[in-house]
Structure 1
Amino acid sequence: MSDNGLNRAELISVFIRAGILGICSYFAVKWMVNTLDPTRKQKREAQQRAERLLSRLGVTDLKTSLNEYELSIAAQLVDPQSIEVTWSDIAGLQDVIDDIKATVILPIRTPELFSRSELHQPPKGVLLHGPPGCGKTMIAKATA
């Protein structure tokens, strides 16, 4: 018997009850946070959209679940086959189209031309700028 009047069995019983209470409290709070989350529906839809897009793009190895940041990025991916804009849809920007084909598409299709030289490398990206309605989005879609 210990100093405060509890024997060993009672002490173990108190610790077990406290552990069970802690576990139940943890899961109750977790359930309440998930239930009261106003973005729960959007997160679930984003998860489903991301899984659908990634499987369509050929990524089937989703062993680890995506965190919120990766999920928001994956949900915004666009399948290139779903874009219905082609180069022939763009009128009046032939010089821009030729520049993009030479600087972006050529290095992707023929990487052996750029692998021999350290000085001549393909660009890391393209910055399209101009006023609204000048065709930036259409060019980006056709490039994709």
Structure 2
Amino acid sequence: MINGFKIDFGKFKVDLKVLGDLVILASAGLSVYYIVNTILNDYLDSTVKNKESEKKGSGVLKKIQASNPHLKEVSFNQYEKALLNSLVTPEEISVTFEDIGGLHDIIDELREAVILPLTEPEIVCSTPESYPVTKGGTGFYGPP
């Protein structure tokens, strides 16, 4: 029997206001638990990822310093250290131009516009008048 905001079940009498308050309290508790759990998991995941990236970055740095001893005295800031884990060393690259089928004209252009100036700068730019005039940058797509 319903009497105002109370339900009578014989022995049990339930106040609907109290029942509503309990439902609101339980849902608020679950919401807080979910939010705190999500925030902590995201924080812990980012902490673990940061530690893993620092380990990988320090490994890459050691490889680079082994091949270039003058870099042992260089100090890196946090941003540069964060970029180290995405750096690809030449030893890790297993793809060559011979692995690329076709596109010989593009490969020749890449060798002329990118590789030759980096490997032989004295040949490409011996005088300021011979500096190459570019229309724009060189855009790469895909893995190195």
TM-score of Structure 1 vs Structure 2, range by shorter chain: 0.5 to 0.7
TM-score after normalising by structure 2: 0.55
Partner amino acid for 2:83? I
Of Structure 1 and Structure 2, which has the larger fraction of its residues in strand? Answer: 2
How many angstroms apart in 2 are the aligned matches of 1:78 and 1:102? 22
1:109 correspondence with 2:119: yes
1:54 correspondence with 2:66: no
Q: Quote the RMSD (CA, aligned, Å).
A: 2.7
How many angstroms apart in 2 are the aligned matches of 1:127 and 1:80? 19
Partner amino acid for 1:54? L
* Superposed CA offset, 1:85-118 (max 9, x none): 0111001110000000111111122211234221
After the TM superposition, list the runs of 4 or more consecutive aligned residues in structure 1 that deviate by more than 6 angstroms: none
How many angstroms apart in 1 are the aligned matches of 2:137 and 2:56? 27
Give the % identical residues.
26
Work out which of the two has the higher radius of gyration on C-alpha atoms and give 1 or 2.
2
2:82 counterpart (68, 72, 78): 72
How many angstroms apart in 2 are the aligned matches of 1:79 and 1:90? 20
**Alignment gaps of 5+ in structure 1:** 1-35, 129-135
Of Structure 1 and Structure 2, which has the larger fraction of its residues in helix? Answer: 2
How many angstroms apart in 1 are the aligned matches of 2:126 and 2:73? 36
How far did residue 79 of structure 1 move? 1.2
Q: 1:1-144 maps to which residues of 2 (within 5 A)?
A: 37-38=43-44, 39-58=46-65, 61=72, 64=75, 66-67=77-78, 69-121=79-131, 125-128=137-140, 136-137=141-142, 141=144
Higher relative contact order (CA 8 A, sep 6+): 1
**Alignment gaps of 5+ in structure 2:** 1-41
